[in-house]
A and B are shown apart, each in its own frame.
Chain A
Amino acid sequence: MGRKLLLDKAHIEGIRYYDTYRSNGGYAAAEKALKSMGPDAVVEEVKKSGLRGRGGAGFPTGLKWSFIAKPEGVPRYLVCNADESEPGTFKDRYLMEFIPHLLIEGLLISSFALGANSAYIYIRGEYAWIPDILEQAIAEAKNKGWLGKNILGTGFDLEIYVQRGAGAYICGEETALLESLEGKRGNPRIKPPFPAVKGLWGCPTVVNNVETIAAVVPIINIGGDEYIKFGIGKSTGTKLISACGNINKPGVYEIEMNISVEEFIYSDEYCGGIKGGKRLKACIPGGSSVPVLPANLLLKTAKGETRMMTYESLNDGGFATGSMLGSGGFIVMDEDQCIVRNTLTFARFYHHESCGQCSPCREGTGWMKKVLHNIEYGKGKMSDIDLLWDIQRKIEGNTICPLGDAAAWPVAAAIRHFRDEFEWHVKHPDEALTRNFGLAHYADPLPLPEPAAV
């Protein structure tokens, strides 16, 4: 049974409310940080823990915090990115809905470490019911003296505000989020300057994901040295994974980053195997924007080693044979799934969500969607596959924000690993909709137990 740090109290009834949370050890980390540690010591502890941003990019959190500019007389801000909009990713929703005080405690500790007196939770518009839960928890915390002026008599002040987004995926990009928070159209800013220097209202700002901020609580509780022991190498601690697709047990799981992908998919503790006993065809391990991996590359790395649920192992081989842990949106596809249709679905999403600021993303995402639509619906040509490859190549890396990359990578990976399936669609336009591809990308199913002797 894997150890848990974030969801260890999730099963306790009423943990959403302050009294239950507090009586089960809640706010002990905040008390420790504010009373017996200084801001610098908290930053050092987070650095020591090796915590990496859980929003997708995986940048070291402590290092990001240390970049924040500290000019005299200028306020600093902490912004919690709760605009969880990546298709396949729904882990932050679970945290905010069931253990909101964990996030508030994390915000309190993080703001203290950064010297921020205002923290914002920018939450996805579609999570319509969660802001009420958060606001209730904030009110409880304030009543108990954990927010407001002179917290615990330390002289530290903090207010937390909840801001609802209007439902645009691009507002999950940190600079677009800041624009939206300032009341403007959610267009990404051009970096540099980075938010740590010039962020919200032109002031130094740190933007962290919900899970990242929540993870600060156990780090302070158990210490950075202990936190490292939950994981391997540079993938330290635990990670929330939202698993979905053709698996027996979809849901949000907290894993120690020392288990294999195979264990995660087939173990009863997690996904419980492929639904209906079918064969595993492919998996997108980190949310829709990361490259899809065929089964043969999913369970083993390019070097033939066991693929682990870690940043490094999932990256192994680069985009040619690897993928990314990303935001932990684990989408599993069985043998009946059509890669072309899946790629079209994602292309349609990214086309719809492009802000339209820069030319490659604005025009390229729509073009890819139209070409994919033709291939999927039996109107494609062989040359369209090369055209798709070329379009994604001209988008990737050439846009203001990573949405261009997010749109390009799924298409690139689908062609790289499943080109024969695209060709099959072109050659058999009438049969394409039957989804009986007869193509070999599948992992052999795990051996079934021997039938009991009669």
Chain B
Amino acid sequence: MAEEKKLFKVKIDNISVEVEPGTTILNAARKIGGDVVPPAMCYYSKLQGSGGKCRTCLVKVSKGSEADPRPMPKLVASCRTTVMDGMEVANITSPEVQEARKGVVEFLLLNHPLDCPVCDQAGECDLQNLSYEHGAEATRYEFKRRTFDKIDIGDKIQLHMTRCILCYRCVYTADQLTEKREHGILGRGDASEISTYIHQSLDNEFIGNVIDVCPVGALTDKTFRFKNRVWFLKPVDAHRNCENPKCCGKTVLWMRGDEVFRVTARKDQYGEVEDFICNTCRFDKKEKSDWIIEGPRKIDRHSVISQGHYVNTVKPKDPLVEVLDGRQPKLLFDIHTQSQVNRPDIDLSKIEGPAHSDDFNK
């Protein structure tokens, strides 16, 4: 008979949960779910050694354990602190934590440009969500922000270091997923930056995953940049038999009509990739016919991209049809046939770079 595992009882914001020894406070909170889950900008459950750096997941341990009930003297990073039996943690119930988190958001936004209107990560940016939930209304920073030139690190990925918050996720991804050190951190303090060695390119069959793990818009997909806003796209689950044995071939297609604008890996409710995908699936398979569509993707996050993607919605009956005794209303004017801009025969996703008026004059 298998030996029964002893579980640790933990109380987070006065909600009890039982978890296995070795579980971090963050993962214990995730087991409870909802608002007690601390935000995390650098922790990524699929990447070893990640976490502890951004300090957004700080929590207060008000009781260390049943054996040693003393509180921890400082706030701790919940993503790297393991639970003890009888531990009591305060997250949203601690004003100290909320204040510290507000401070962290302010620090993260010091050098991060608020260029959401043009940033390709808008709508699915963790920092955007974090600042809505924990940020201040205005900045107190009056100095020049740091800027960098954009760098093409590989033919499909662009690094916009100006937006980077140095979470190190992409470095861990490149180290761990591609079995080859591709890039790292140069410089120290606020002068540190993500870079390849003397602007070398990142070329590895799985390197596209650095785009998915980036919590902000610092690493972007050059095949998607400026093509569309994510909230205009419809995410659908799809798969294909990928030739690469390491790739699961399970993806999310971001479509508008029959056009595939971008392909990403599938992410869980915390925005973390479930299975990493290869570059071929991500960058080269942009035809609907390349994929077997499974159905609409449930976006389980409270960001703007979940808005409008309703499941099982009941639409009210159209009264016009009843008024017209069952006749369909006569279409007097089809905007798509009349518009000089939105020509349906143009695939935006296939235009090199952002769409330009010249593309519509051809």
Q: Which residues of A contact B (CB under 8 A)?
A: 168, 170, 185, 190, 351-367, 370, 387, 393-394, 397-400
Min CB gap A303→B, angstroms: 24
Q: Which of B104, B108, B140, B143 contacts A398 (CB 8 A)?
A: B104
- Chain A residues lying within 8 Å of B191, measured Cβ to Cβ, are 356
Q: In the complex, what distance in Å separates the CA atom of A327 from the CA atom of B185? A: 31
Q: Is the CB of B55 within 8 A of A356?
A: no
- Chain A residues lying within 8 Å of B360, measured Cβ to Cβ, are none
Q: Which of B106, B108, B141, B190 contacts A356 (CB 8 A)?
A: B190
Q: In the complex, what distance in Å separates the CA atom of A367 from the CA atom of B110? A: 9
Q: Is the CB of B54 within 8 A of A358?
A: yes
Min CB gap B80→A, angstroms: 5
Q: In the complex, what distance in Å separates the CA atom of A398 from the CA atom of B108? A: 14
B354 at the A/B interface (Cβ < 8 Å)? no
Q: In the complex, what distance in Å separates the CA atom of A357 from the CA atom of B111? A: 15
Q: Is the CB of A365 within 8 A of B55?
A: no
Q: Which of B51, B53, B140, B184 contacts A359 (CB 8 A)?
A: B53
Q: Is the CB of A363 within 8 A of B52?
A: no
Q: Is the CB of B53 within 8 A of A354?
A: no
Q: Is the CB of B53 within 8 A of A400?
A: yes
**Contact A367:B141 (CB < 8 A) given known A354-B189, A359-B165, A362-B189:** yes
The 7 lowest CB-CB distance pairs between A and B, nearest first, are A394-B103, A356-B192, A354-B189, A363-B107, A190-B52, A397-B74, A366-B190
Q: In the complex, what distance in Å separates the CA atom of A399 from the CA atom of B184? A: 21
Given contacts A356-B187, A359-B55, 10 further A-B contacts (CB under 8 A): A168-B188, A355-B192, A361-B189, A362-B107, A394-B99, A394-B104, A397-B75, A398-B55, A398-B103, A400-B77
- Chain B residues lying within 8 Å of A366, measured Cβ to Cβ, are 189-190
- Chain B residues lying within 8 Å of A365, measured Cβ to Cβ, are 189-190
Interface membership of chain B positions 48-72, coded 1 if the CB is closer than 8 angstroms to chain A and 0 otherwise? 0001111110100000000000000
Interface residues of B in 78-107 (CB under 8 A from A): 80, 99-100, 103-104, 106-107
B166 at the A/B interface (Cβ < 8 Å)? yes
User: Count of chain B residues with Cβ under 8 Å from any Cβ of A?
Assistant: 34
Q: In the complex, what distance in Å separates the CA atom of A359 from the CA atom of B77? A: 12
Q: Is the CB of B190 within 8 A of A398?
A: no
Q: Is the CB of A363 within 8 A of B185?
A: no
Q: Closest B-chain residue to A399, C-beta based?
A: B55
Min CB gap B294→A, angstroms: 38
List 14 A-B residue pairs with CB atoms under 8 Å apart, sorted by A's residue number.
A190-B80, A354-B189, A356-B166, A356-B190, A356-B191, A358-B52, A359-B166, A360-B55, A362-B190, A362-B192, A364-B107, A366-B189, A367-B110, A399-B55
Most B CB contacts (10 A, CB to CB) among A354, A387, A398, A400 go to A398
Q: In the complex, what distance in Å separates the CA atom of A372 from the CA atom of B100? A: 22
Q: In the complex, what distance in Å separates the CA atom of A51 from the CA atom of B23? A: 37
Min CB gap A408→B, angstroms: 12
- Chain B residues lying within 8 Å of A357, measured Cβ to Cβ, are 53, 166, 168
Q: In the complex, what distance in Å separates the CA atom of A160 from the CA atom of B104? A: 43
Q: Is the CB of A358 within 8 A of B143?
A: no
Q: Is the CB of B104 within 8 A of A352?
A: no
- Chain A residues lying within 8 Å of B74, measured Cβ to Cβ, are 397-398
Q: In the complex, what distance in Å separates the CA atom of A16 from the CA atom of B166? A: 47
Q: In the complex, what distance in Å separates the CA atom of A74 from the CA atom of B107? A: 42
Q: Closest A-chain residue to B74, C-beta based?
A: A397
Interface residues of B in 109-149 (CB under 8 A from A): 110-111, 140-141, 143
- Chain B residues lying within 8 Å of A397, measured Cβ to Cβ, are 74-75
Q: In the complex, what distance in Å separates the CA atom of A448 from the CA atom of B56? A: 57
Q: Is the CB of A359 within 8 A of B108?
A: yes
Interface residues of B in 299-317 (CB under 8 A from A): none
Q: In the complex, what distance in Å separates the CA atom of A352 from the CA atom of B188? A: 8
Q: Which of B53, B106, B141 contacts A358 (CB 8 A)?
A: B53
Min CB gap A363→B, angstroms: 4
Min CB gap A404→B, angstroms: 10
Q: In the complex, what distance in Å separates the CA atom of A361 from the CA atom of B166? A: 12
Q: Closest A-chain residue to B111, C-beta based?
A: A363
Q: Closest B-chain residue to A383, C-beta based?
A: B140
Interface membership of chain B positions 23-64, coded 1 if the CB is closer than 8 angstroms to chain A and 0 otherwise? 000000000000000000000000000011111101000000
Q: Is the CB of A362 within 8 A of B103?
A: no
- Chain A residues lying within 8 Å of B165, measured Cβ to Cβ, are 359
Q: Closest B-chain residue to A403, C-beta based?
A: B189
Min CB gap A131→B, angstroms: 24
Min CB gap A358→B, angstroms: 5
Q: Closest B-chain residue to A397, C-beta based?
A: B74
Q: Is the CB of B106 within 8 A of A394?
A: yes
